[in-house]
Amino acid sequence: MEPNHPGESVKEPTHVTTLRLLKGFALSVDQTRVPLCSSVQRLIAFLALQGMPRSRTYVAGTLWPDVTMSRAHANLRSSLWRATQTDHHIIDTSTQELAISEHIMVDVHEAVANAHRLLDLTCSCDDILTTQTRIDLSADLLPEWSENEWVITEQEQYRQLRLYALEAMTERLTTARRHGEAVAAGLAAVRAEPLRESAHHVLMKAHLAAGNRGAALQQYEQCRSVLRDELGLEPSPTLRSLLPSSIARDGRPPALAKG
């Protein structure tokens, strides 16, 4: 973060450093995992999710909100010192600000970028309609870290984005007639939030596009059951409109209505 002196060459990192935040925390250099204590993990994860340099005061106050600011700054200095003991360049520091080092590849950054592309109707996304994209969008952000407010906020922001992106991915794959992949993406969206009717909607459309009316009807009944049991609601007219008219009037497949 400090400016280079005129004429000074910039040395590129000779190692590949990756930071995984989806499904859990892992920092690796050349595919070898770097052991870190919990306070350093949280500092690195926090800076990686900010997307911009943050002041030392902001970082300290956010990561250690339940202690005095003096104690929070001391905790921050301790975590920064521990990070330097790894012998890897992880954090860019200045007298006022901190940031994750630019050369570190962060998995959630790519997942977020792909999600925004999938949601952009003007963007062609053939290159990211892949299994890896679906896997990334199916993963929770730091799933075992739910004790801090800043983590919960980041988790919910990414969760909402990935839900919309999975639905958009399902629709794009359905349009491309890649039916098996469309169903897989739709199932991922439903698993991520079973109460989300729009996820059931795109999955039903994927089944219908593949000619699997029975699977579409079963998906409708699954949606109807979970909405009724959890929220006391019936599926919307929009969802029922995907069913044949004779079935839609009753709201459920005849075979499943018995008993």
Whether residue 98 sits in one domain with residue 164: no
Confidence at 78, pLDDT banded by 50, 70, 90: very high
Whether residue 88 sits in one domain with residue 205: no
**From CA 53, how far away is CA 84, in angstroms rounded?**
18
Judge whether 69 lies within some domain: yes
Whether residue 244 sits in one domain with residue 122: yes
Instruction: Give 15's contacts (C-beta < 8 A, 6+ positions apart).
Output: 29, 30, 88
**From CA 10, how far away is CA 117, in angstroms rounded?**
32
Residue 246 pLDDT more than 80?
Answer: no
Q: Which of 58, 74, 103 is the last residue of a domain?
A: 103
Whether residue 242 sits in one domain with residue 169: yes
pLDDT value, residue 70? 97
Whether residue 129 sits in one domain with residue 96: no
State pLDDT tens for residues 165-221. Answer: 999 999 999 999 999 999 999 999 999 999 999 999 999 999 999 999 999 999 999
Of 56-70, 154-168, 204-218, 238-252, minimum mean pLDDT range? 238-252
Phi then psi for residue 102, to 5 deg, are: -65, -25
Q: Which of 103, 123, 150 is the last residue of a domain?
A: 103
Q: What is the CATH number of the domain that holds 63?
A: 1.10.10.10
Phi then psi for residue 113, to 5 deg, are: -60, -40
Whether residue 82 sits in one domain with residue 156: no
CB-CB contact of 129 with 178 (8 Å): yes
Please state at what angle helix 107-119 crosses helix 149-175, rounded to 10 degrees.
50
Residue 119 pLDDT more than 50?
Answer: yes
Q: What is the CATH number of the domain that holds 198?
A: 1.25.40.10
* pTM for this model (two decimals): 0.85
Q: Which of 77, 103, 129 is the last residue of a domain?
A: 103
Whether residue 244 sits in one domain with residue 150: yes
Comparing CA positions, the residue from 117, 140, 134, 142 lying closest to residue 19 is 142
State pLDDT tens for residues 228-239. Answer: 999 999 999 999
Judge whether 224 lies within some domain: yes
Whether residue 156 sits in one domain with residue 28: no
Judge whether 11 lies within some domain: no
**From CA 162, how far away is CA 108, in angstroms rounded?**
11
Of 1-10, 25-34, 46-55, minimum mean pLDDT range? 1-10
**From CA 135, how far away is CA 182, in angstroms rounded?**
13
CA-CA-CA-CA torsion sign (236, 241, 242, 248) = positive
State pLDDT tens for residues 8-45. Answer: 444 555 789 999 999 999 999 999 999 999 999 999 99
